[in-house]
Chain A
Amino acid sequence: MSERRASLIAGLGLGGFVLAFSFAGRFLYRADPYTIHPAHALQAPDWAFPLGTDELGRDGLALLLAGGQATLEVALPAAVLAFVTGLAYGLLAGLGPGWLDKILMRLLDVFLALPSLVLLIFFAALARNGLSNTMLVLLLGFITWPGLARLVRNEVFAQRRRDFILAAQQAGAGPFYLARVHLLRVIAPVLVVNGTFLVGDTIFALSALSFLGLGVQPPQVSWGSLLQSALDIIALAPWWLLLPPGLLVFASLLAASLLGRGVGRGVLRR
C-alpha cells in the first residue's frame, strides 16, 4: 500500500471515528452531562463512570460527548462558511476586472497582517457576555477564509491564460460559465485539500478560543473548555479529565492533516 493510500485511509478512519463518537455517542451512552453527583466528585475512571467525574461530580464521558457535539456543531458549519466565502472571494478577484482584484487583495492583506487567533480574541472580546454559537460560526468562518481566498485567486491567475480558457473566452463564455464549467474542475484538487485543512483550522481555532474562555460559553461545554477546567485543578492531577478532550482535538487535527496529505500526494502525482 502506498504512503498516500495509507494516509488517506488512516485519515478517513480517524475522522470517521471522531464524527461517530461526537454525534452518535450520546445515543449509546445516555448519561446526562450536566447532572451533578456530589458524592462522586473527582473520581478516577471506574465501571460507573468510564471516564471518571469532574470536580462537581459530573460524568466525564457524558461531558466529553456533549463537548464534542458542541465543538463540531460550531466548527463544521464555520468551515463550510469559510470555504464558500473564500472560494467566492477568490474567484471574484481572479476573474473580475484588474482594479477590483487590487482592492480585494489589499483588503485581504489587512486580514492576513495579524495572527488569526489575535483577531479571534479581539472580536470575541467585543461581545460583552460571550458569543452565542451562531455568532461563533460567523466569527470563525469570517476569520479563517482569507487563506483560501488568496489561494483560489492565485490558482485562477495561474490557469486563466491557458489555451482552453482563452478558447472558451473567444467562444463567448462569460466569467460565471468559465468558473463553473472550467476553472472549478481544474482547481478542484486544490480545493479539496484546502477544504480539509479548513476543517482542521476551525476545530483548532474554536478549541483554542474555548480554552481561553472566549468560545463556547458555559454551561455548555466543548473540548477546549473541558481542557481549561481540567487545567484549573491540575494540582490534583485529574489525568482522566485532561487527556480525553485533548486527544480528541489532536485526533481531529491529525485526521485533517492525513486526509489533506492523502489527497494532496495524489494531486501531485497526476
Chain B
Amino acid sequence: MRRQRAVRLLRRLLGSAVSILLLVTLVFFLAHLTPGGPAFSILGQKATPGSVAALNARLGLSAPLLVQYGIWWGHLLQGNLGYSYLLNRPVGALLWNYEINTLVFYTIAICLSTGLAILLGLAQGVWHGRWPARVIGAFQLVFYATPPFFTAAILVLCFGVWLHWLPASGIGNPRLAHPGVGTYAAHLVLPVVTVMLLTVPMLSRYFGEAVHEELAKDYVRTARAKGVGFAGILFTHVLRNALRPLVTMLGLSFPYIFTGGVLVESVFNYPGLGWLLWRSALGRDYPVLIAIVLLIGLLTVLGNLLADVVNGLLDPRADYE
C-alpha cells in the first residue's frame, strides 16, 4: 500500500535524521575540544600564544563552545557551511566542486559494476557447482580480500609506469582550462576499474546466490512445464526477482563503496570527496571535515532510501512487508 509505504519511509527518514544530527553534534564538539585546535595547524611551527589567540578571535573560535555551535547551525540553515582554513574558500562551493567529480566517478563505476555483477551472478547461478561457477567463485574470493589501495597500486605500476597506456594521476592536464572529455575519460579508467574490482566480487556473489535460489522455486518449474524456454525464464522471471536483494545490497553497500573510494581517490589523486576528506584530515581542516561527515551521512541515508523505492517498483509486494 502506498500509504503504508510512505509512513514507513518517513519513519526511517526521521530515525536517520536523528542519527545524523547526533553524529554531527558529536563531531562538532570533538573537533572543537581538541587541544590546540585549528589555529595551531594553520600557524604551524610559527605559532606563539599571542598569534594563536589573535587567530582564534578572528576565526570566531574564542567564543564559548555552545555559542559557536549555535552560530554553526545558524549558518548551516542559511546554506553556509563555513570557511576552509586550508584552501581559503567557502566550504559549500568547495564541496560542490569535489562532489561533482565524485558523482561522475561513482555513477560510472557503480553502473559498470552492477552490469558486470549481474552477468557474473547469472552465470554463477545457472552453472552452480560446476567449473564456471567455481572460477567466478575463486575470482570473488581473491578480489574480495585484496585491499583497494593495493589493487590501485598494481594497476598504476602495470598500466601507468610499465606500459604507459593510461594516466595514473589527476583528471587532466592542469595547465589546460578544458582538457577535453577524452582526457578526462582516460584518467577515469584506472580508478573505475579499481572500484569495479572492489565491488563486483561482493555484488556478484550475492546476486549469484539469489539467482540460484530463485531457479529452485516453484514458479520456475511451472514456467518450464508450460513450455517457456530457459532464456525466457531467466530473463523475464528470475532476473527481476533476484534483482531485489541486489538493489537492497547496493543501497546498503554505499559505506563500503565509499571506503574504497577514499582510498582509490587518494592513490590516483582524483579530486573527489574522498580525496578532499583525506587532504583535510592531513591538514586538520575542521570545517571541511565536519561538512564532509554531514554530507556522507546524508548520502548514506539517501542510498538506503533509494534502494527502498526501487525495490517497491520492482516488486509491489515490498510495500506490504
Nearest neighbor of A214 in chain B, beta-carbon distance: B281
**Contact residues in A for B22 (Cβ distance below 8 Å):** 107, 110
Considering the chains assembled together, what is the distance between the CA atoms of A212 and B277 in angstroms? 11
**Contact residues in A for B160 (Cβ distance below 8 Å):** 234
**Contact residues in A for B31 (Cβ distance below 8 Å):** 122, 126
Q: Does B188 contact A (CB under 8 A)?
A: no
A-B contact pairs, 13 of them (CB 8 A): A114-B293, A116-B255, A122-B289, A122-B293, A123-B30, A127-B34, A128-B284, A204-B147, A207-B147, A246-B154, A250-B147, A253-B147, A257-B145
Nearest neighbor of A119 in chain B, beta-carbon distance: B293
Q: Does A109 contact B (CB under 8 A)?
A: yes
Contact (Cβ within 8 A) B297 A213: no
Main secondary structure of the interface of B (DSSP, over half): helix
Contact (Cβ within 8 A) A118 B262: yes
Q: Does B9 contact A (CB under 8 A)?
A: no
Q: How many Å from the CB of B77 to the closest CB on chain A?
A: 21
Considering the chains assembled together, what is the distance between the CA atoms of A243 and B157 in angstroms? 10
Q: How many Å from the CB of B190 to the closest CB on chain A?
A: 12
Q: Does B87 contact A (CB under 8 A)?
A: no
Nearest neighbor of B16 in chain A, beta-carbon distance: A113
Of all A-B residue pairs in the complex, the 10 with the closest CB atoms, nearest first, are A115-B255, A246-B150, A125-B281, A254-B145, A253-B145, A117-B259, A109-B19, A113-B19, A115-B259, A121-B281
Most B CB within 10 A of own CB, among A113, A246, A247: A113
Nearest neighbor of B300 in chain A, beta-carbon distance: A113
**Contact residues in B for A200 (Cβ distance below 8 Å):** 145
Contact (Cβ within 8 A) B282 A214: yes
Nearest neighbor of B137 in chain A, beta-carbon distance: A3
**Contact residues in A for B176 (Cβ distance below 8 Å):** none
- Quick one: which of A3-37 are within 8 Å of B by CB? none
Q: Does A230 contact B (CB under 8 A)?
A: yes
- Quick one: which of B1-27 are within 8 Å of A by CB? 15-16, 18-20, 22-23, 26-27
Q: A115-B296, A118-B296, A128-B34 are in contact. Are A231 and B141 (CB under 8 A)?
A: no
Contact (Cβ within 8 A) A242 B157: yes
Q: Does B280 contact A (CB under 8 A)?
A: yes
**Contact residues in B for A123 (Cβ distance below 8 Å):** 30
Q: Does B41 contact A (CB under 8 A)?
A: yes
Q: How many Å from the CB of A130 to the closest CB on chain B?
A: 10
* CB 8 Å contact bits of B159-201 with A (1 = contact, 0 = none): 0111000001000000000000000000000000000000000
Q: Does A235 contact B (CB under 8 A)?
A: yes
Nearest neighbor of B36 in chain A, beta-carbon distance: A128
Q: How many Å from the CB of B259 to the closest CB on chain A?
A: 4
Q: A113-B16, A128-B41, A254-B141 are in contact. Are A122 and B149 (CB under 8 A)?
A: no
Contact (Cβ within 8 A) B162 A237: yes
Considering the chains assembled together, what is the distance between the CA atoms of A256 and B141 in angstroms? 11
Q: How many Å from the CB of B22 to the closest CB on chain A?
A: 5
Nearest neighbor of A258 in chain B, beta-carbon distance: B141
Q: Does B238 contact A (CB under 8 A)?
A: no
Add 6 more A-B contacts to A212-B262, A256-B145 (CB < 8 A).
A115-B300, A207-B147, A231-B156, A234-B156, A243-B154, A246-B150
Q: Does A66 contact B (CB under 8 A)?
A: no
Considering the chains assembled together, what is the distance between the CA atoms of A59 and B315 in angstroms? 60
Nearest neighbor of B134 in chain A, beta-carbon distance: A3
Contact (Cβ within 8 A) B149 A211: yes
Q: How many Å from the CB of A259 to the closest CB on chain B?
A: 12
Contact (Cβ within 8 A) A114 B280: no
Q: Does B124 contact A (CB under 8 A)?
A: no
Q: A122-B281, A212-B278, A254-B145 are in contact. Are A239 and B157 (CB under 8 A)?
A: yes
Q: Does A208 contact B (CB under 8 A)?
A: yes
Considering the chains assembled together, what is the distance between the CA atoms of A113 and B289 in angstroms? 16
Contact (Cβ within 8 A) A116 B259: yes
Q: Does A227 contact B (CB under 8 A)?
A: yes
* CB 8 Å contact bits of A226-256 with B (1 = contact, 0 = none): 0100110011010100110011011001101
